[in-house]
Chains A and B, each alone.
Chain A
Amino acid sequence: EADIYQTPRYLVIGTGKKITLECSQTMGHDKMYWYQQDPGMELHLIHYSYGVNSTEKGDLSSESTVSRIRTEHFPLTLESARPSHTSQYLCAIQTGGTGELFFGEGSRLTVL
């Protein structure tokens, strides 16, 4: 089991605002991921990190950016939010053993 926290859980903002979604974990796992999930649709990988100062883009193109300055934190930033960014953003960590992903509770973003 792993503790992974996402804030905010819900965010409603206007077009053009800059937002940062926080993701943090307490167990020191190296591998962290951001997925995007639209209602009724599958999860799409948008960013991942193997450790500090390591970030890569996922399969789904995203205008968001991420950083990994500390192992514990993997924030996602949108410089100028648009209605097309309205979605649920899920952060996950990958543990050892079977390599399963543990997800946070998600950040549901609505851009008006």
Chain B
Amino acid sequence: QKEVEQDPGPLSVPEGAIVSLNCTYSNSAFQYFMWYRQYSRKGPELLMYTYSSGNKEDGRFTAQVDKSSKYISLFIRDSQPSDSATYLCAMSAIRIGRGSSNTGKLIFGQGTTLQVKP
């Protein structure tokens, strides 16, 4: 069983729809959760970063973490064609910070491909 499970999609929605992207995980030690967006033939770019449980909002994006269910979500409101990309969840069990000796060992999900149709 993979540590992080993510439905690869593809997910196709009309412009303006609310999109829900999800990941489940098995390692209860995960505390740091990230969402990356990756456009075709580009490197991933960080969208959201959250610690432990709760919600975090940034513009049209909301990240939600439910540690009791080992489930994280990314919501996109008023989706736009420019949101069409692959969204990867990533998580880590240890703080990754300046001076820390740990690796950047993020465990990534497979990625969900989203297409927003005009």
Binding site for B on A (CB under 8 A): 6, 31, 33, 40-43, 45, 48, 50, 56, 58-59, 90, 92, 94, 96-106, 108
Contacts and interface: CB of A to CB of B under 8 A. Distances in A.
B46 A96 contact: no
B98 A101 contact: no
A45 B105 contact: yes
B48 to A, nearest CB: 10
Contacts, number: 67
Given A42-B111, A96-B97, A98-B49, A104 B104 contact: no
B46 A99 contact: no
Contact of B88 (A42, A92, A100, A102): A42
A13 B21 CA distance: 37
Nearest to A99: B96
Interface stretch (B11-19, B37-45, B61-69, B71-79): B37-45
A99 B98 CA distance: 7
A94 B94 CA distance: 14
A99 B95 contact: yes
B106 A101 contact: yes
Contact of B104 (A42, A99, A108): A99
A103 B36 CA distance: 10
Closest 3 CB pairs of A and B: A99-B96, A103-B43, A96-B98
Interface in B1-49: 4, 6, 8, 34, 41-46, 49
A48 B98 contact: no
Contacts of A40: 8, 110-111
B49 A42 contact: no
B96 A94 contact: yes
Contact of A33 (B34, B45, B104, B109): B104
Interface in B88-118: 88, 95-98, 100-101, 103-106, 108-111
Nearest to A94: B104
Contacts of A105: 41-43
B97 A101 contact: no
